[in-house]
Amino acid sequence: MSLTAPLAFPPEQLAEVHRLQALYPDRRAALLPVLHMAQDAFGYISLEVEEYVAGLFDMTPAHVHEVVTFYTMFFQRPKGRHVVAICHNLSCHLAGAPRILTHLKERLGVEVGETTDDGRVTLLSVECLCACEHAPMMQVDDRYEFDLTPARVDRILEGLR
Amino acid sequence: MTGERTLTRNFHRPDAHTLAAYRGTGGYTAWEKAQTMEPAAITEEVKKSNLRGLGGAGFPTGMKWSFIPKNHTGPVYLVINADEGEPGTFKDRYLLERDPHALIEGMLIAARAIRSAVGFVYIRGEYVEPWRRFSAAAREATDAGYLGRGFDVVVHRGAGAYICGEETGLISSLEGRKGWPKLKPPFPAIKGAFGAPTIVNNVETICHLPHIINRGAGWFASLGTKTQGGTRMYSVSGRVKRPGVYEASVAITLRQVIYDLAEGVTGNGRLKAVVPGGSSAAILRADEIDVTMDVDGLKNAGTMAGSAGVIVMDETVSIPEALMVVARFYAHESCGQCTPCRESTGWIYKITERIVEGRGRKEDLDTVLDVARRGAGTTICAFYDGAVGPYISYIEKFRDEFEALIPK
């Protein structure tokens, strides 16, 4: 979405916002689900998105900002078309996650937290994703990728366009 | 050796997550039976079963339910903690993906016991596939008339924060705020989500309920020890031949988990240490594994059953490096509300990091132990106490290894 486009959900998504708000005894409880929707729709949660979402809930933008900055899954800056998040907690560490992370950095030419120049991939290193039986593992967008080796990582990266 | 399996009995079936498969294997018959029981009788049965919470704290489930005020007339909420995040734990992911109807049936039973008309299932944000699977099952259950007739389920996604697995942090997050834990009392059973009496139960805990109702409290209690009934799901990872999730009695030993269920140690084949209950549990040495895995057995061994996430380390693993990784986790996940936790977790991570990098100072180990001991028990929630378990035990039990890295 370009920066000049009006920042608002289309009608059907607005209806979804209202449906979500009605599910809870207090409509403000729908904030996290609506922020997930906003990130999907607008790419990331900018200050402008925070203000827009705050308006949907009659909240202050400061409250929304406090929530957005608390959780790891909300991006406050543009991210790549794909997010690759390797787990660096204990079981993955024991299974060689540091070696896989080094491989990812080399292949992508970025450090942790950075996005490739072509906007294809943002690389993250994250805490336990709770799939330790398949360590080392990582999350690629919505999917978990298991039992990583450098060769397997290469095949996965190859599939990201 | 491992005995009866109930929670995981259908995991091998590719269609286990569907209503048809669940009903075909006796699913929802416990709910039929529970509807003929008085709510108080359900609670009594669960008390007698010795079911204890399997998310980490190990609190007796029936007793927790009985804290709901008897004369309360307003709404009561059932909240399912599916914010699985304890390092080394992955059991609830399996239940959500492979047997979501067991959770729904268990929720129906629990909701009847506590007289709740709405249940919230709080699933960690990263669990996208489990969220889809569970949501689909909830739609099936609604279409089949199990849900929507006196009890509704709302599926709620988190957004990445370990602290939301703490029950009052989870409630804050569910209410649309940052996941800051709340001071207790009041306990959630008195004043929880949206100000109403609320019971927060772990996924696995709830999935046991259909079996307890169908087969009786006596049967369930007999599977475990005197103070804890049943089986539970062990998540086994690290340096073992067969990492995975295994259901077995709470009365089996840690040795059996490592050598029988997971078929022994890899690396150099010799066990050095093991974390028995997720990363917040104190570490055990190789000579400390002849303990039963129940809540009291591991408590008596100076550690905790926690989430039953078993992380195995062979002799080639560096314990200081392992502590650094664990300390990084607690530093990152501290919610920042309480000063002792916010400050100590950050500084202890920095200290462990410099020790591993060969820049440690001779006073560092005693500083960590001192800071850990002073902060324990001073914070709003149990998060910092969970960090103190590894800080103290890794250093006390493997002090030589740390000292060897510190320049003389």
* C-alpha to C-alpha distances, B177 to B125, B159, B168, B169, nearest whole angstrom: 15, 11, 12, 9
- Indicate whether B2 pLDDT > 60: no
In a shared domain, residues A97 and A34: no
Of the candidates B254, B294, B114, B83, the residue with the CA atom closest to the CA atom of residue B192: B114
Angle at B13 between CA B7 and CA B14, to 5 degrees: 125
Domain with CATH 3.40.50.11540 in chain B: 19-222
Q: Which residues of A touch B194 (CB under 8 A)?
A: 24-26, 29
Contact A88/B328, CB-based, under 8 Å? yes
- Asked whether residue A52 is assigned to any structural domain, the reply reads yes
In a shared domain, residues A63 and A125: no
In a shared domain, residues A86 and A147: yes
- Indicate whether A2 pLDDT > 80: no
What was the ipTM of the complex prediction? 0.96
Q: What does the pLDDT read at residue B343? A: 97
Beta sheet of A143-145, edge-to-edge order: A121-126, A82-87, A138-140, A143-145
Q: What does the pLDDT read at residue B1? A: 43
- Asked whether residue A17 is assigned to any structural domain, the reply reads yes
Q: Choose the mutation target among A21, A32, A73, A75 for the interface with B, i.e. most B CBs under 10 Å.
A: A32
Residue B318 CA to residue A158 CA, distance in Å, equals: 34
- Digit-coded pLDDT (tens) for B90-140: 999 999 999 999 999 999 999 999 999 999 999 999 999 999 999 999 999
* CA B9, B14, B15, B17 torsion-angle sign: positive
Rounded average pLDDT over B275-302: 98
H or E element, residue B176: none
- Digit-coded pLDDT (tens) for B43-61: 999 999 999 999 999 999 9
Residue B300 CA to residue B386 CA, distance in Å, equals: 17
Rounded average pLDDT over B309-324: 98
Q: Which residues of A touch B162 (CB under 8 A)?
A: 127-128
Contact B322/A23, CB-based, under 8 Å? no
- Asked whether residue A18 is assigned to any structural domain, the reply reads yes
**CB–CB of B115/B148 below 8 Å?**
no
Rounded average pLDDT over B173-181: 98
Of the candidates B45, B56, B6, the residue with the CA atom closest to the CA atom of residue B295: B56
* Torsion angle of C-alpha atoms A147, A152, A154, A155, degrees rounded to 10: -120
Any idea what the CATH number is for the domain that residue A63 is in? Answer: 1.10.10.1590
- Asked whether residue A118 is assigned to any structural domain, the reply reads yes
Question: Which CATH architecture group holds B231-314?
Answer: Roll (3.10)
- Digit-coded pLDDT (tens) for B366-378: 999 999 999 999 9
Question: Which CATH architecture group holds B19-222?
Answer: 3-Layer(aba) Sandwich (3.40)
- Digit-coded pLDDT (tens) for A48-97: 999 999 999 999 999 999 999 999 999 999 999 999 999 999 999 999 99
Token pair recorded at residue A73: 């899954």
Of the candidates A87, A139, A71, the residue with the CA atom closest to the CA atom of residue B325: A87
Residue B61 CA to residue B59 CA, distance in Å, equals: 6
Domain range for A36: 11-70
pLDDT averaged over every residue in chain A: 96
**CB–CB of B289/B215 below 8 Å?**
no
Does residue B185 have a cis bond before it (omega within 30 degrees)? yes
In a shared domain, residues A91 and A64: no
Any idea what the CATH number is for the domain that residue A140 is in? Answer: 3.40.30.10
In a shared domain, residues A58 and A121: no
Question: Nearest residue of B to residue A26 by CA position?
Answer: B194
- Indicate whether A43 pLDDT > 50: yes
In a shared domain, residues A65 and A86: no
In a shared domain, residues A55 and A97: no
- Digit-coded pLDDT (tens) for B12-41: 999 999 999 999 999 999 999 999 999 999
Contact A35/B159, CB-based, under 8 Å? yes
Residue B349 CA to residue B327 CA, distance in Å, equals: 5
For chain A, what percent of residues have pLDDT higher than 90?
A: 96
Question: Which CATH architecture group holds B319-405?
Answer: Up-down Bundle (1.20)
Nearest to A133 among B90, B154, B173 (CB): B90
- Indicate whether A5 pLDDT > 70: no
* C-alpha to C-alpha distances, B406 to A92, B90, B363, nearest whole angstrom: 26, 35, 10
- Digit-coded pLDDT (tens) for B231-280: 999 999 999 999 999 999 999 999 999 999 999 999 999 999 999 999 99
H or E element, residue B380: none
Domain with CATH 3.10.20.600 in chain B: 231-314
Which of the two residues, A119 and B4, has the higher pLDDT score? A119
pLDDT averaged over every residue in chain B: 97
- Indicate whether A112 pLDDT > 70: yes
Cα radius of gyration rounded to whole Å, chain A: 18
How far off is chain A from B154, nearest CA to CA, in Å?
A: 7
Q: Which residues of B touch A127 (CB under 8 A)?
A: 85, 87, 162, 329, 332-333
- Indicate whether A4 pLDDT > 60: no
- Asked whether residue A1 is assigned to any structural domain, the reply reads no
Domain with CATH 1.20.1440.230 in chain B: 319-405
First to last CA, chain B: 50
- What is the pLDDT confidence band of residue B313, given thresholds at 50, 70 and 90? very high
In a shared domain, residues A43 and A96: no
Contact A88/B154, CB-based, under 8 Å? no
Residue A99 CA to residue A152 CA, distance in Å, equals: 13
Residue B45 CA to residue B28 CA, distance in Å, equals: 18
Rounded average pLDDT over A17-29: 98
Furthest-apart CA pair in chain A: how many Å? 50
Burial B2-25 (b: 16+ CB within 10 A, else e): eeeebbbbbbeeeebbbbebbeee
- Asked whether residue A5 is assigned to any structural domain, the reply reads no
Amino acid at B196: A
Of the candidates B207, B261, B185, B213, the residue with the CA atom closest to the CA atom of residue B54: B207
- What is the pLDDT confidence band of residue B408, given thresholds at 50, 70 and 90? confident
Domain count, chain A: 2
In a shared domain, residues A53 and A117: no
Question: Nearest residue of A to residue B177 by CA position?
Answer: A67
Angle at B79 between CA B390 and CA A34, to 5 degrees: 95
In a shared domain, residues A51 and A91: no
In a shared domain, residues A101 and A151: yes
Q: Which residues of A touch B (CB under 8 A)?
A: 23-26, 28-33, 35-36, 57, 63, 66-67, 70-74, 88-91, 93-95, 127-135, 139, 142-144
